């Protein structure tokens, strides 16, 4: 259950509210972006405004399916290509917040987390220079919802060998196999009546 602050609830019920998405990717240097045209500060973190350059594809989940989400930045200068290709993003955490802003002052009222997951891949596309402008770069990042990790097979078993891989001095599971095959013989009820 998500709870919102009283000013955010009042703004939402008034019908006059501004919304933006805040995206944080925990890369080598954390990357914080917003779909707003200006920078937004949440706590001590500053989210850089991407305006029309940034986009987030809509997510259409169906029962039993968890689809990935795609964040895109277009119109980037080509000197960013080296930075984008050098960054290891696989399995880095990522989350998205819904920023509820005051419609007049654009002050941040609340920003609850709406999506969490991990990054998967970052395809980069390069557009050569044209008569209308210089060469540009488009960067897309795909993220998988954290719920997808529950469907993956677990590499750890409840055995002595796997427990010793985690902690070599822990011998607490050494009798699990022998005890699982052991047959206990219980005395009859008459034994307890003596």
Domain assignment of residue 178, given as a range? 160-188
Do 18 and 85 belong together in one domain? yes
Instruction: Return the SS3 of 79.
Output: helix
Q: What is the mean pLDDT of each run of 10 residues along the chain (194 residues)?
A: 79 84 87 87 88 75 76 73 78 90 87 88 78 77 82 78 88 84 82 75
Total domains, the chain:
2
Nearest in space to 126 (alpha carbons), one of 171, 77, 88: 77
Q: Which pLDDT score is estimated for 149?
A: 75
Do 182 and 109 belong together in one domain? no
- Does the residue 132 lie in any domain? yes
Do 52 and 89 belong together in one domain? yes
- Does the residue 174 lie in any domain? yes
- Does the residue 193 lie in any domain? no
Do 126 and 177 belong together in one domain? no
Do 119 and 26 belong together in one domain? yes
What is the distance of C-alpha 185 from the center of its chain?
52
Pair type for strands 136-145 and 113-121: antiparallel
- Does the residue 60 lie in any domain? yes
End-to-end Cα separation, the chain, in angstroms: 58
- Does the residue 96 lie in any domain? yes
> Would you say 137 and 80 are in contact if contact means Cβ atoms under 8 Å apart?
yes
**How far apart (Å, rounded) are the C-alpha atoms in residues 7 and 117?**
28
**How far apart (Å, rounded) are the C-alpha atoms in residues 98 and 110?**
8
C-alpha R_g of the chain: 26
């Amino acid at each position: 259950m998500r709870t919102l602050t009283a000013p955010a609830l009042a703004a939402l019920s008034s019908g006059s509210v501004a919304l933006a998405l805040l995206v944080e990717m925990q890369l080598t240097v954390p990357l914080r972006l917003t779909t707003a045209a200006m920078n937004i500060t949440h706590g001590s973190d500053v989210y850089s405004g991407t305006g029309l350059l940034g986009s987030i594809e809509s997510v259409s989940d169906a029962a039993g399916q968890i689809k990935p989400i795609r964040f895109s930045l277009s119109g980037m200068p080509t000197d960013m290509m080296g930075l984008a290709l050098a960054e290891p993003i696989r399995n880095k955490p990522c989350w998205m917040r819904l920023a509820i802003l005051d419609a007049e002052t654009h002050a941040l009222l609340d920003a609850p987390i709406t999506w969490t997951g991990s990054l998967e891949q970052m395809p980069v596309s390069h557009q050569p220079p044209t008569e209308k402008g210089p060469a540009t770069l488009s960067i897309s990042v795909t993220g998988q919802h954290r719920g997808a990790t529950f469907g993956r097979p677990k590499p750890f078993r409840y055995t002595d060998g796997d427990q010793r891989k985690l902690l070599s001095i822990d011998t607490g599971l050494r009798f699990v196999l022998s005890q699982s095959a052991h047959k206990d013989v219980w005395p009859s009820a008459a034994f307890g009546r003596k």
